[in-house]
Structure 1
Amino acid sequence: MTISSSLNAGVAGLNANATRLATISDNIANSNTYGYKRASADFESFVIANNSGAGAYSAGGVRAETTRLIDERGALISTANATDLAVGGRGMLPVTTAVSLDSASGDQPMMMTTTGSFYTDSDGVLKTDSGLVLLAWPADADGTIPTFPRDTMAGLEPVVINANQTAGDPTTMMNLGVNLPAEDATETLPLSVEYFGNLGTSETLDMTFVPAAADNTWTFTINDSAQSGALIGEYTLVFDATRGNGGTLASVTPTANNPASATYSSADGTLALTVDGGPLEMTIGKIGDTNGLTQLSDNFAPTQITKDGSPVGNLTSVEVDDNGYITATYDTGFTRKIYQIPLVDVPNPNGLISMNNQTYQVSPDSGSFFLWDAGDGSTGAIVGYAREGSTTDVAGELTDLIQTQRAYSSNAKVIQTVDEMLQETTNIKR
């Protein structure tokens, strides 16, 4: 009967608008929630087949379909905490729950979020106040990130930053810029340069420049204090005296005392030395190069000596760059990458399962996840010192609220009218 279908349609309209009202109230309530994604209610009609020309119509009604608009991005808001993180574009941060870390089974749920304010707890674990633990790939001791699988959680670990962490950086490269006197070269010229061993110890390379009988010729020796002064390199240096290349190296020849492994590369002007901790590359300049060893004027002077490495230092701060690398800074000026945060992406972000605390999990509708380096593929950059704001537009939600209220009242009026008509039908029989 068409009058009863009108009643059913009115009730369905009340339910649908009540659902829309629920999404609006949720959006307004979370208008200041960091990382909140707006919920939307779309209406879909039900149609009951009617015989053409029958002169009667049966109302099918309406239903509400709710969607979480996860792919919408909120504005980035600056903060003062280096580990307040947001994603500037597509992709999400991998996280898990703090409770799962203490689980006896060892299984950790794969969750993701677009933003979070992370702080270290008493154990140094980087997590939010709500108990979300940040996951990342750990770096090796030399700061390089190994190759990890991209389609599983294997390799992801909770980020742990210990405030009392210490680290040293051994010296592996050294640039030696020294000028030797071109006149009155009769004395042995000593030079000591500090370098840092594998355990952060301070060692020295003790070098001497001895003038030879031939003009513009020197014997260059290198001894390592960490090996009780053992000889690790000895070379005959000949400098050019021509007008075009005067004062630059003309040749570098290993002497008979030189270790076989301590070779000179004319292609890049380096000596392959072996100190107590391992190989060390010393740049003295290519043939004809004015930036390495030179022989000009009558002054002996180290013009430029640089090296990598540092002594043992204490951790002072950590920061996250656009590519997701967590870099630790020590009080000696040494910096090192300790983790890399990948970005999680799925084919259909709106198909993810919404969880508490603005987190999401993979579902059949979202498709399988893939771990990207931040900035690669379709993913955006990871932004430190920032949080993502809510995607709620309060003005728009209030407008929808008024429309929903009127639609709800109209459906209630339909039900009231149907009730009156049914009463009239009952009165006819009396």
Structure 2
Amino acid sequence: MDLFSALQTSVSGLQAQSYAISNISGNIANSQTTGFKRVDTSFVDLMTETTPKREVSGSVLAQSQLTNTIAGNVVSTSTPTNMAINGTGFFTVVQKTGDANGAATFSGTNAYTRRGDFAPTADGFLMNGAGGYLTGNNLDPTTGQVTSSGAIKIGNPTLPAQPTTTISYAANLPATPTTSASAVPAGSIAGPSITAYTSSGAPVTVNMRWTQVSTSTAGATWKLSYNSGTTDNPTWTDVATQFTFDSTGKLTAPAATGTPSATTVDLSGDVFSGYTFPKLTLDVSGGLTQYSDASGSVTTNALSQDGSTSGTLTSVAVGTDGKINGTFSNGTVKALATAGIVQFADPDGLKADTNGNYLQTADSGPPLSGLNGSTITGAAVEQSNTDIASEFSKMIVTQQAYSANTRVMSTAQTMMSDLLNVIR
């Protein structure tokens, strides 16, 4: 290497350190940008001669090094549709290109980002602070089936009324029931009481009572009665199926059937509070027993039904699996959409784009759908992974290296002047 090469090398050093300070500047400027991934700088030496006995350092090349695999801190927010990825992966977003016939149109090119500050737009789509529209699968809240793929749109869905088809019941009947002379039916004790729903969503009160029909050392038999009339004018009707327990208190009839096995009683066509349910099943698979109880009354362990009134959307929340769930006015929680999350074999091989987005490259490999072990935190965002203290340290080192390169240039120039003076 001669003096001219030394000058060229120091110039490359100045360029490399200028490139590094530019990355540091960008990192510091975006220290508060949601989902931002800092850009580090790596240096590669270029050798002018590489023989075994003579290895001479040449120029230096500065390259950007992405930090997409280094997560920022996750902080809570007050927006329920904000999301943060815990682990690897990226949100899939598209850009809005316009409106055609009152419908939004989007670009056909997917971009990928960790910026999850998504919030509903006026037309129901989820857009982050950089203008990226979250994509994924839109779901039918009633069936749970995928209705469309692309930009996620929450909107204002409603749930139709769902008629009650199953009442699930688990309880212990006392081995010695305590009854009163005024009990109707005679000798009965209170059983399950729950509000069911018709096909139009109208509430129907289901009242039942238990009566111990017989008892012996071998066990006991009970009958279940229900009010087929009204509250003011009750009419008690017996369920056709009776319930038998052995001496240990275990239910022996009706027997469990089907696969998976279930213990059920068909109440289809029976009239409850004046309404006839075309299809209704009492499911006691959760456990119906007859054990001694000092109170002499029924101990209800579980009681639920699967019907509901119609409902309108009242709130949304994001689950750990990336599903956007809606809570409706009837208390039902249904999945509305699934956020599009993808993985890459080499996340740092992505091409950085504007607005905190990244594009697929040959180095990154194709996007692979799924969380792959990662989880989603709703009502939260991922902060920039820039560490201000670390950036200041790098800035000081970069400034010193830049100054040192200028000294090399001035020294080489002085040596060249000395050489020229010798020739003169």
TM-score calculated relative to the size of structure 2: 0.76
Correspondence 1:30 to 2:30: yes
Aligned twin of 2:418: 424
Structure 1 unmatched ranges of 5 or more: 149-154, 226-232, 254-262
CA drift of 1:272 comes to 4.5
CA drift of 1:196 comes to 2.6
Aligned twin of 1:200: 201
Aligned twin of 2:380: 386
Correspondence 1:395 to 2:389: yes
Distance of aligned partners of 1:217 and 1:274 in 2 relative to their CA distance in 1, 3 Å threshold:
closer
> For residues 131 and 36 of structure 1, what CA distance do their matches in structure 2 show?
15
Distance of aligned partners of 1:22 and 1:252 in 2 relative to their CA distance in 1, 3 Å threshold:
closer
Instruction: Tell me if the contact between 2:125 and 2:133 (Cα under 8 Å) persists in the aligned partners.
Output: yes
Decide which moves more: 163-172 or 316-325.
Answer: 163-172
Instruction: Tell me if the contact between 1:209 and 1:221 (Cα under 8 Å) persists in the aligned partners.
Output: no
Aligned twin of 1:257: none
> For residues 105 and 184 of structure 2, what CA distance do their matches in structure 1 show?
75
Instruction: Tell me if the contact between 1:315 and 1:331 (Cα under 8 Å) persists in the aligned partners.
Output: yes
Correspondence 1:174 to 2:172: no
Q: What secondary structure sits across from 2:49 in the alignment?
A: coil
- 1:337 pairs, out of 335, 343, 351, with 335
Q: What secondary structure sits across from 1:310 in the alignment?
A: coil
Instruction: Tell me if the contact between 1:221 and 1:235 (Cα under 8 Å) persists in the aligned partners.
Output: no
CA drift of 1:304 comes to 6.9
CA drift of 1:364 comes to 0.6
Instruction: Tell me if the contact between 2:126 and 2:133 (Cα under 8 Å) persists in the aligned partners.
Output: yes
> For residues 396 and 299 of structure 2, what CA distance do their matches in structure 1 show?
82
Distance of aligned partners of 1:250 and 1:221 in 2 relative to their CA distance in 1, 3 Å threshold:
farther
Aligned twin of 1:139: 139
Instruction: Tell me if the contact between 1:145 and 1:340 (Cα under 8 Å) persists in the aligned partners.
Output: no
Instruction: Tell me if the contact between 1:143 and 1:336 (Cα under 8 Å) persists in the aligned partners.
Output: no
Decide which moves more: 73-82 or 166-175.
Answer: 166-175
CA drift of 1:391 comes to 1.1
Aligned twin of 1:228: none
- 2:407 pairs, out of 400, 413, 416, with 413
> For residues 145 and 84 of structure 2, what CA distance do their matches in structure 1 show?
22
Correspondence 1:115 to 2:108: no
Aligned twin of 1:230: none
Which whole-Å deviations, capped at 9, do the CAs of 1:215-258 have from their partners, x for residues lacking one?
Answer: 96758689899xxxxxxx96242655x7544xx866459xxxxx
Which whole-Å deviations, capped at 9, do the CAs of 1:18-57 have from their partners, x for residues lacking one?
Answer: 1111111111111121211111111111111266778xx8
Query: Share of identical aligned residues, percent?
Result: 25
Q: What secondary structure sits across from 2:364 in the alignment?
A: coil
TM-score calculated relative to the size of structure 1: 0.75
Q: Aligned residues, how many?
A: 397
> For residues 301 and 221 of structure 1, what CA distance do their matches in structure 2 show?
18
> For residues 186 and 78 of structure 1, what CA distance do their matches in structure 2 show?
56
Q: How does 1:290-309 map to 2 (within 5 A)?
A: 290=290, 305-309=303-307
> For residues 348 and 394 of structure 2, what CA distance do their matches in structure 1 show?
22
Distance of aligned partners of 1:141 and 1:4 in 2 relative to their CA distance in 1, 3 Å threshold:
same
**Alignment-mate amino acid for residue 330 of structure 1:** F
CA drift of 1:192 comes to 8.4
Aligned twin of 1:156: 149
Correspondence 1:235 to 2:240: yes
Distance of aligned partners of 1:218 and 1:18 in 2 relative to their CA distance in 1, 3 Å threshold:
closer
RMSD: 4.4
